[in-house]
Structures are given as structure tokens and as C-alpha cells.
Amino acid sequence: MTQMLIIGPPGSGKGTQASRISDRLGIVAISTGDIFRANVKEETPLGIEAKKYIDKGEFVPDSVTNNMVRDRLKQPDAADGFLLDGYPRTSGQVDELDNILAEAGTQLDIVLQLTADDEELVQRLLGRAAQEGRSDDNETVIRRRLALYHEETAVVVNRYAERGIVATVDGIGDIDEVTERIMNALKSVTA
């Protein structure tokens, strides 16, 4: 059983790589972004609240996100392992995830950190916005999301680095090459 998370700035390829890792390891990939977007599209109460923050490039409040993740990790498909994408993003969320996992008698095995240059990420996200028509991806919002990532999420990486479970991988390059870098990094940390 592998319990891991993937972390990195918006546009670093987390979703693409999470899907590939999930397939290779036989674990469910859980993306908070996908859950938020589904709720926004369906105009659920959570989606309406989340949209207010997403449209401004802000993170959805911890209270909403924590409850959503807690419920999701209780689903049967997460019992044999999982890959979290987009959570935790703050120190408070690290504490909450620790509590959720402790209640289940387990802990994270590895944190995979994808890295990429901010200017490259802005261009990637603008291209994605044009292709997919995503209202949450204009240049102002993208730059705000990147700034928030650097301000808040870096603390998360540092907390896990103190535990010795972070594997850092360059997220720039051909998708297959990045996947192979990730699989090699996972082997070195879990060996």
C-alpha cells in the first residue's frame, strides 16, 4: 500500500503525472482541483462557495477542504493506497492530514515535489486556458496562484522534508521523461 502526495506549483503537470503514477502503482489519484471543478460545474453549495475563491486565484478555505478530504479518504477505493493531488497546501492542512491518517493508524509514505520555472508555468497555463476555456486561468489569476503557492505551500514541503519523505523531480520536459524521473525518484525514497 502506498500513501503519497504530489505537490508543485499550478501547471507543473501534477494532474497528468498523478494519473500516470496512479495507473502504475494501482492506487487512486485524488485531486482536490477536480473535486472543486465538478462541484462548481454542478453548482452545489460547496461549488458556489469554492468558485468565489477559485475565480480570484485564492485557495478554498481549509475548513471546506479538510472536510472534503476527510470524507474522500474514507471511500473504499482509497483503502489500498492513494495519491493526493492539491492537498495539503498549508501547514494547517498538514496537521489535519496527519490527524486523518493517525485516526486510520497510518501515515504518508512519500511526498513527490514537481518543480518548474514560473515563467514556463504562466505560458503553460495560458495555453491550457485557451484550449479548455477555463475561467480560472487568466494571467493575473495565474500569477496570484503562483505567488500563493510560493508563500504558503513551500512550508508544506519543508515540513515533509524534515521527515525525510520528499522526492524532488524536475517537471519540465517530455511527459514520458518526467514520468520516468518520478518512478526513479519513488524507487530511491521507498527502497
16-22 average pLDDT score: 94
Residue 84 grid cell: 493526493
Question: Which residue's C-alpha cell is 493575473?
Answer: 140
Question: Which residue's C-alpha cell is 472536510?
Answer: 67
Segment 82-128, tens digit of pLDDT: 999 988 988 889 999 999 999 999 999 999 999 999 999 999 999 98
Per-residue pLDDT at 189: 67
Annotated binding site: 11-16, 32, 37, 58-60, 86-89, 93, 128, 134, 145, 173
**Alpha carbons within 13 A on the beta-carbon side of 24:** 15
Q: Is 143 a catalytic residue?
A: no
Q: Provide the pairing of β-strand 2-7 with 110-115.
A: parallel
Say which CATH topology domain 2-186 has.
Answer: Rossmann fold (3.40.50)
pTM for the full predicted model: 0.82
Per-residue pLDDT at 182: 95
CB 111 within 8 Å of CB 165: yes
Q: Is 41 a catalytic residue?
A: no
Parse the chain into domains and list their residue ranges.
2-186
Catalytic choice (70, 128, 143, 144): 128
